[in-house]
Amino acid sequence: MAQVAAMRTYLRDTIGVIDVPGPNPAARRIAIQEEGLSVIEDLLEFDDSGIKTLCASVRKPGGMIRDPNDLNRQIVAPGFHIPAICEKRLKWAAYGAKIYDMIGRTVNYDSLGRNRLKALERHSTLMKEHEDPEKLPVVTKTFGIVKAMDLLPSHLRDRLGARKVH
């Protein structure tokens, strides 16, 4: 239960999902949690399209609810407004959670703070724009093994690994 409340606070303070007026100010954040993002570790299960689907489901949940003005009548569930910047931050949080999990770092609220989300966005841009270096020259009579071994460390530093990690 404490983790669910902590996630609700994270959604408000870091992601920027603000309270709504009315009897339940946290209703928007609760709606996000009910769509499957109830604790921070749940971010590991989302990618960009999953976050987009989650936000669309909160915006237009479907189904019917009682009309607050006429309890005998049903109306379409109105859903909640999720600003584009919040959706973007959720995408970067999911991206960061995957990166941290892959390299063995703890996925928590501090590791996915707002400043870190901005850094993760820059990281993603660098990874998309990265070009691997040219192949090492083949060892021949004119290009010896000693020269090839001298070039190897810098060559490997410029390459990305199988999981797109430097």
Predicted local distance difference test score (pLDDT) of residue 39: 95
Q: Could you give the count of Cα atoms lying within 13 Å of 104 in the half-sphere of its Cβ?
A: 0
Instruction: Judge if 40 and 53 occupy the same domain.
Output: yes
- C-alpha 135/C-alpha 138 separation (Å) is 9
Can you give the pTM of this predicted structure?
0.77
Asked if 46 and 54 count as a contact pair (C-beta separation under 8 A), the reply is yes
In terms of domains, do 51 and 107 share one? Answer: yes
Domains in the chain, number: 2
By residue range, what is the domain housing residue 55?
2-129
Does residue 106 sit in the same domain as residue 143? Answer: no
Structure tokens at 88: 């973007």
Assess whether 104 and 121 both reside in one domain.
yes
91, 143: one domain: no
Note down pLDDT in tens along the chain; length 166 residues: 899 999 999 999 999 999 988 888 999 999 999 999 999 999 999 999 999 999 999 999 878 888 878 888 888 888 899 999 999 999 999 999 999 999 899 999 999 999 999 999 998 888 888 777 778 778 888 888 888 888 888 777 777 665 555 5
CB atoms within 10 A of CB 147: 13
Residue 101 and residue 154 in one domain: no
Residue of 2, 89, 107, 104 whose CA lies nearest to 44: 107
Would you state the pLDDT for residue 163?
A: 57
Same domain, 96 and 149: no
Q: Are residues 112 and 154 in the same domain?
A: no
- Do the beta carbons of residue 3 and residue 39 sit within 8 Å? yes
